[in-house]
């Protein structure tokens, strides 16, 4: 298991400064806020190549009624379309929450070079919490993975969202049936 801030893969290293990592995570956070604004669980992701954002996305599971409508999937798809290649070698992906097995798998297939996430997801994370898809050297591609980038801001967004949701549900229960 990866400890907070620990990097498992010693052969790979980050190509970015802490300041740059936080800058890009802010952009992923801005994506997450787009999800929040439409009542979706606030998770956002971006893909960066050569200092340019080539893909962005946010969670749309409810709107699309699609279990696979995760932020990372949209960001990866857009990035591939942008550079007209399924290979995202040399790219960096930033996501506000630790990726799930599906998204980690997609990143692995797309050969994303570096993956940075914000908050840890102890119940669904596949980048260190429950499993380590991206750094498993049995695969033919593995990535540099770093968690905990702006983790407080990323986690707070989720905590606030679920607190609001509970409040709304409680209020709806309390109010008399209008029908």
Contacts of 57 (CB under 8 A, 6+ apart): 31, 44, 45, 46, 71, 72, 73, 74, 75, 77, 78
Catalytic residue list contains 113: no
Which one of residues 76, 80, 95, 103 is an interface residue with Zn ion (CB under 5 A)?
A: 103
Which one of residues 70, 88, 97, 151 is an interface residue with Zn ion (CB under 5 A)?
A: 70
Query: CA-CA distance, 121 to 100, in Å (whole number)?
Result: 8
The reply on whether position 134 binds Zn ion by CB under 5 A is no
Question: Could you tell me how many residues of this chain bind Zn ion (CB under 5 A)?
Answer: 4
Query: CA-CA distance, 36 to 34, in Å (whole number)?
Result: 5
The reply on whether position 58 binds Zn ion by CB under 5 A is no
H or E segment to which residue 116 belongs: strand 114-119
The reply on whether position 95 binds Zn ion by CB under 5 A is no
For the CB of residue 99, give the shortest distance to Zn ion in the complex, in Å. 5
| Nearest residue (CB) to Zn ion, 53 versus 100 | 100
Residue owning tokens 């750094």: 135
Choose the stretch contacting Zn ion; rule: CB under 5 A; options: 5-13, 95-103, 130-138, 169-177: 95-103
For the CB of residue 22, give the shortest distance to Zn ion in the complex, in Å. 22
How far apart, in Å, are the Cα atoms of 78 and each of 26, 47, 138, 177?
19, 9, 28, 44
Query: CA-CA distance, 23 to 44, in Å (whole number)?
Result: 14
Choose the stretch contacting Zn ion; rule: CB under 5 A; options: 49-57, 58-66, 83-91, 94-102: 94-102
The reply on whether position 100 binds Zn ion by CB under 5 A is yes
| Nearest residue (CB) to Zn ion, 59 versus 151 | 59
H helices present in the chain, as ranges? 18-37, 61-64, 71-83, 101-109, 151-174
Of the candidates 72, 113, 132, 146, the residue annotated as catalytic is 72
Residues serving a catalytic function are: 72
Applying CB under 5 A, the residues found at the interface with Zn ion are 70, 100, 102-103
């Amino acid at each position: 298991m990866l400890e907070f801030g620990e990097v498992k893969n010693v052969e790979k290293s980050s190509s970015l400064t802490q300041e740059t990592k936080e800058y890009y995570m802010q952009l992923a956070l801005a994506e997450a806020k787009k999800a929040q604004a439409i009542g979706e669980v606030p998770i956002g992701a971006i893909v960066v190549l050569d200092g340019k954002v080539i893909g962005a996305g946010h969670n749309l599971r409810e709107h699309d009624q699609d279990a696979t409508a995760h932020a990372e999937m949209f960001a990866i798809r857009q990035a591939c379309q942008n550079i007209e290649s399924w290979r995202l070698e040399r790219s960096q992906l930033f996501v506000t929450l630790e990726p799930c097995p599906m998204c980690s798998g997609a990143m692995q297939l797309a050969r994303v070079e570096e993956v940075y996430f914000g908050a840890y997801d102890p119940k669904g994370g596949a980048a260190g919490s429950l499993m380590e898809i991206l750094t498993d050297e049995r695969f033919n591609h593995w990535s540099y993975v770093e968690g905990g980038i702006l983790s407080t801001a990323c986690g707070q967004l989720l905590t606030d969202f679920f607190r609001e949701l509970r409040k709304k549900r409680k209020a709806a229960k309390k109010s008399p049936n209008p029908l």
